Amino acid sequence: MHSRRTVLTTAAAAAAAATLGTGAAHAAPSPTPPPSRATLDRLRRLISRMTPEEKAGQLFVMRVYGHSATDPDPADAEANRKELGVSNAAELIAAYRVGGIIYFGWAHNTRDPYQVAELSNGIQEAAADLRVPVPVLISTDQEHGIVARIGAPATLLPGAMALGAGGSVEDARTAGRISGQELLAMGVRQDYAPDADVNVNPANPVIGVRSFGADPQAVARMVTAQVHGYQGAGVAACAKHFPGHGDTDTDSHVGLPYIHHSAQEWERLDAPPFKAAIAAGIDSVMTAHIVVPALDPSGDPATLSRPIVTGILRERLGYDGVVVTDSLGMEGVRVKYGDHRVPVLALKAGVDQLLNPPDLSVAHGAVVRALRDGELSEREIDAKLLRILLLKERRGLFADPYTSRQQVDRVVGVRAHRAAADRIADRTTTLLRNDDGLLPLSRRRTGRLLVVGVDPDAPSGTGGPPTGVLAEELTRLGFEATALSTGMAPSRAVIARARQALAGRDAVVVATYNVTASSAQRTLVAELLATGKPVVQLAVRNPYDIALLDEVPAALASYSWTDVELRAAARVIAGRRAPVGRLPVPIMRADAPQTALYQIGHGLRY
């Protein structure tokens, strides 16, 4: 697959030798042993050869458009020239000496596993040609569930809240291990997962089902398991978003959220999963663009806060691994300071890696100036570089940064992994309500089904629109199911069409997505109920929808609209699997938000 080498990486070979997808118990790796003196000396010599420009470049993790490191599609090359001043990934590395590259679907980095592996090898080829050759740490956000940058035929697994509903630390570890093995085979050595936020705010617009739940200790156990899974497979894990993004109603992509927890509440609610990740030996921690006045009254977001990053994360919690910012293109980190100050302030706060600034030339130039002017000391920057290089060393990049087509064939999307994903998903679907034993549906009494509801954009390669996936799986299970997408905000005409379509059917399954008090989805459900036909509601994102749909006789939560979770929900609806998931968050009453409609741990059986 690449010209320099044809052997597998040591780490990849070890991963390939591991048992795939069996779900069997695996010993948790020990906390990272200290590096040898010889390793430290070698990496320090490498740092000493770098110019200020090269040192600054190694601190950045950047996006780049295109499926190839040297020959992207013309539109991607033009996007690179417009945003980065270069045509492709190889030119980006040559121009800025970036230490990391992050893959996105929208940047056309992740067409298929072979292409991802080829792109990874091309990036490492470009880095090997530098005056001071340093392998690139390639990363992505493969949280699974609603955030998955690499789709099928790679294995797609239940996301965090679904795993929280399943409650099995072994399932969480297995999911991390499978994901880590497949990422490693595609040349991705860092995953920005697991999410360590404790989602205690149902109105949270950015975390929600990306969190394992609302119980700090339960989240901590799941985070620990996933760290062991990912890193046991040879991929660096990353706990995010420190100091905790779980109690906000503002999305830091578009604004600056405030967390109003007291210091004591932070210790009780937000800190446990991060402490657990550190104890598990996690390779990296990502900061949040949030203001926590109880931890730093300055009004600075945590990413730029020395009291939070250095004072709490490094000194109080004792973390000495790599700290990476959340994307510096997000509005939450840009509202107070200009783009030329943000990277410098983040480094001064204590972070090591600067993720995806909106203008790399501005950000890189600012860091170089601060280094030359003494605002950033060379000793400080060298310490950051050493942490980053030690992570690369630990993940096998200096030994061999390449992968191969054979490794992709042996690991990515193999039958054992896909079967394990289905088994895990079967333990996550949660039955919230089941009046008069409506579920499981009977093929004799309710054999003709209509499936309606939302069809949000799913991660690439996740099996198609939710209504179509549900209808297809229910048909495979012996029902006659027809799909009709009604969208996020169905019009009166669309609702009338759904009601008309139900006339020739015995029952309806309606997929809902983050229903609000004014949502047209409520009107759709009310009109379907008015027909007198049985209505089964499935929440395909946050599980809170049932609080605003109190007349629905049967309600379930799948915690995502990806096909692995939708197929599992269909098996529960059809009675092929028992519902065993339990709520990892409380659902509060819509008319009395301080009163729980369903508590953590709720989940019906049949």
- The Cα–Cα gap between 325 and 240 comes to 10
Q: Is residue 24 part of a domain?
A: no
Whole-angstrom CA distances from 35 to 39, 49, 214, 390, 391 are: 6, 21, 37, 8, 10
Boundary-marking domain end, from 380, 411, 442: 411
pLDDT at 11: 39
pLDDT at 336: 87
Catalytic residue check, 253: yes
Give the β-pairing of 147-148 and 190-191: unpaired
Catalytic residue check, 26: no
Q: Is residue 51 part of a domain?
A: no
Same domain, 345 and 465: no
CATH code of 584's domain: 3.40.50.1700
Same domain, 466 and 381: no
pLDDT digits (tens, 9 = 90+) for 412-442: 999 999 999 999 999 999 999 999 999 999 9
Boundary-marking domain end, from 352, 383, 411: 411
Tokens of 24: 């069997």
pLDDT digits (tens, 9 = 90+) for 22-78: 333 344 455 678 899 999 999 999 999 999 999 999 999 999 999 999 999 999 999
Same domain, 261 and 300: yes
Q: Which of 197, 270, 296, 326 is catalytic?
A: 326
- Cα-atom radius of gyration of the chain, to the nearest Å? 24
Same domain, 433 and 396: no
Mean pLDDT is lowest, of 437-451, 459-473, 508-522, for 459-473
pLDDT at 13: 37
Q: Is residue 606 part of a domain?
A: no
- The Cα–Cα gap between 53 and 28 comes to 40
pLDDT at 379: 96
Q: What percent of the chain has pLDDT over 90?
A: 87
DSSP letter at 304? G
pLDDT digits (tens, 9 = 90+) for 75-116: 999 999 999 999 999 999 999 999 999 999 999 999 999 999
CATH code of 318's domain: 3.20.20.300
Q: Is residue 50 part of a domain?
A: no
pLDDT at 249: 82
- The Cα–Cα gap between 382 and 374 comes to 13
The pair phi, psi for residue 507, each rounded to 5°, is -160, 165
Q: In 3-state terms, the chain is what percent helix, strand and coil (to 5)?
A: 40, 10, 45
Same domain, 393 and 437: no
- The Cα–Cα gap between 147 and 149 comes to 7
Q: At 21, is the pLDDT very low, low, confident or very high (cuts 50, 70, 90)?
A: very low
pLDDT higher than threshold 60 for residue 501:
yes
- The Cα–Cα gap between 259 and 243 comes to 10
pLDDT higher than threshold 50 for residue 508:
yes
Can you spell out the DSSP letters for 88-100?
SHHHHHHHH--SE
Q: Is residue 33 part of a domain?
A: no
CB 159 within 8 A of CB 560: yes
Tokens of 144: 């699974």
pLDDT at 20: 36
Three-class secondary structure of residue 548 per DSSP: helix
pLDDT digits (tens, 9 = 90+) for 245-256: 999 887 778 788
pLDDT higher than threshold 80 for residue 467:
yes
Q: Which of 253, 339, 382, 602 is catalytic?
A: 253
- The Cα–Cα gap between 513 and 283 comes to 34
- Residue 359 structural domain: 10-16+57-411
Same domain, 402 and 457: no
Same domain, 591 and 525: yes
pLDDT at 459: 47
Tokens of 31: 């906390």
pLDDT at 1: 57
Mean pLDDT is lowest, of 6-10, 67-71, 77-81, 240-244, for 6-10
Same domain, 380 and 448: no
Same domain, 62 and 200: yes
Q: Is residue 44 part of a domain?
A: no
pLDDT at 322: 98
- The Cα–Cα gap between 184 and 1 comes to 15
Q: At 195, is the pLDDT very low, low, confident or very high (cuts 50, 70, 90)?
A: very high
- The Cα–Cα gap between 431 and 573 comes to 9
- The Cα–Cα gap between 321 and 423 comes to 34
pLDDT at 251: 77
Q: Is residue 97 part of a domain?
A: yes
pLDDT digits (tens, 9 = 90+) for 175-186: 999 999 999 999
Q: Looking at the 3D structure of the chain, how many domains does it have?
A: 2
pLDDT at 463: 58
Task: Indicate the average pLDDT of the chain.
Answer: 92
Contacts of 205 (CB under 8 A, 6+ apart): 249, 250, 251
Average pLDDT over residues 473-496: 95
pLDDT digits (tens, 9 = 90+) for 348-378: 999 999 999 999 999 999 999 999 999 999 9
Orientation angle between helical segments 342-349 and 360-373, nearest 10 degrees: 50
pLDDT at 462: 54
Contacts of 336 (CB under 8 A, 6+ apart): 256, 299, 300, 301, 304
CB 113 within 8 A of CB 150: yes
Same domain, 199 and 237: yes
Boundary-marking domain end, from 384, 411, 438: 411
Q: Is residue 247 part of a domain?
A: yes
Same domain, 374 and 484: no
Same domain, 399 and 482: no
pLDDT at 3: 46
